């Protein structure tokens, strides 16, 4: 299956560490990408490949994978990190699929 | 830097064909995949499909029968056509550059347009 499952909502205290997970069979073979979307804005790629940040993305964002689960970790969460986060991956045919998204609230 | 701009009608009648264009500025359209993604109001992202150059396409299986993508190299733009639309196709439509797999790493969709809202209604 190429479906990806994310928790709908996660909260974190300002300055603390938070992990957002993405589960799916395709992640055993293909890496996940992670996108941040703030209200009224287009998604922004924050992590790609095994654990790579595009230029301009803060180094408090990191990725890891274990088995069928990929995780996005934010270390020292800032108020501006409050957003929706989406994972995506691909299947053997090259088709992409998105997870359902996680709404991150910074307390 | 590369910028993408979606354009097309904001209102489409049911059963008609939705047609959108993604203009690429600041870089070449060749050498990359060009994806389309949509997002109904208040909901998550749905990948529609992607095209590489003028010949290779991948479409979401759930939309494949209604989707056609193309690339016009001379105009540096990609296009999306979605036929037989219904109210369920009402969404913000985004185009994105997909760098695909390079050197064993999936570079994914690194540049996105601002999106265009398309409403299906009579």
3-state per-residue secondary structure call for A92-106:
CCCCEEECCCEEEEE
pLDDT in tens, B7-21: 999 999 999 999 999
A85 close contact with B: CB closer than 8 A: no
pLDDT of residue B103: 87
Query: In A, residues 12-31, which contact B (CB 8 Å cutoff)?
Result: 30-31
| Contacts of A51-54 spanning 24+ positions with Cβ under 8 A | A52/B105, A54/B110
Tens-place pLDDT, residues A66-99: 999 999 999 999 999 999 999 999 988 889 999 9
| CB contacts, 8 Å: A50 with chain B | 105
Residue A53 has pLDDT above 80, yes or no: yes
Residue B54 has pLDDT above 80, yes or no: no
Structure tokens at B78: 């990609």
- Say if CB B93 and CB B4 are below 8 A apart: no
Mean pLDDT to the nearest integer, A9-14: 98
Cβ within 8 Å, pair B106-A90 = yes
Share of chain B above pLDDT 90, in %: 93
* Segment B23-49 mean pLDDT: 96
Q: What is the pLDDT of residues B61-101, one digit of tens each?
A: 999 999 999 999 999 999 999 999 999 999 999 999 999 99
The Cα B28–Cα B23 span in angstroms is 11
Average pLDDT over residues A38-65: 97
Taking contacts as CB-CB distances below 8 angstroms, the residues of chain B near A93 are: 58
**Residue B116 to residue B26: CA distance in whole angstroms:** 20
CA quadruple A5, A11, A13, A14: dihedral, nearest 10: 80
A102 pLDDT exceeds 60? yes
Whether the CB of A50 is below 8 Å from some CB of chain B: the reply is yes
Mean pLDDT, residues A23-38: 96
Tell whether the model's pLDDT for residue A40 goes beyond 90.
yes
Per-residue pLDDT at A2: 65
Region B39-46: mean pLDDT is 97
**From chain B, which residues contact A within 8 Å (Cβ)?**
35, 37, 44-47, 49-50, 58-61, 94, 98, 105-110, 112-115
């Amino acid at each position: 299956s190429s479906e990806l499952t994310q928790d709908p909502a996660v909260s974190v205290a300002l300055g603390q560490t938070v992990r957002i997970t993405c589960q799916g069979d395709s992640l055993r073979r293909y890496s996940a990408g992670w996108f941040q979307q703030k209200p009224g804005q287009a998604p922004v790629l924050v992590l790609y490949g095994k654990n790579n940040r595009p230029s301009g993305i803060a180094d408090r964002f990191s990725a890891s994978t274990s088995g069928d689960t990929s995780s996005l970790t934010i270390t020292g969460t800032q108020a501006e990190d409050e957003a929706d986060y989406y994972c995506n991956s691909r299947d053997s045919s090259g088709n992409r699929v998105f997870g359902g998204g996680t709404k991150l609230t910074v307390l | 830097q590369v910028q993408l701009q979606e354009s097309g009608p904001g209102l489409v009648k049911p059963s008609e064909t939705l047609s959108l264009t993604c203009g690429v500025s600041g870089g070449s359209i060749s050498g990359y995949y060009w994806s389309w993604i949509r997002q109904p109001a208040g909901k998550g992202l749905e990948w529609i499909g992607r095209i590489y150059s003028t010949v290779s396409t991948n479409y979401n299986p759930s939309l494949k029968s209604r989707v056609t993508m193309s690339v016009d190299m001379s105009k540096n733009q990609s296009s999306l056509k979605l036929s037989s639309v219904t109210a369920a196709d009402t969404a913000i439509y985004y185009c994105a550059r997909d760098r695909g797999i390079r050197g064993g790493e999936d570079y994914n969709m690194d540049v996105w347009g601002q999106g265009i809202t398309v409403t299906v209604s009579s």
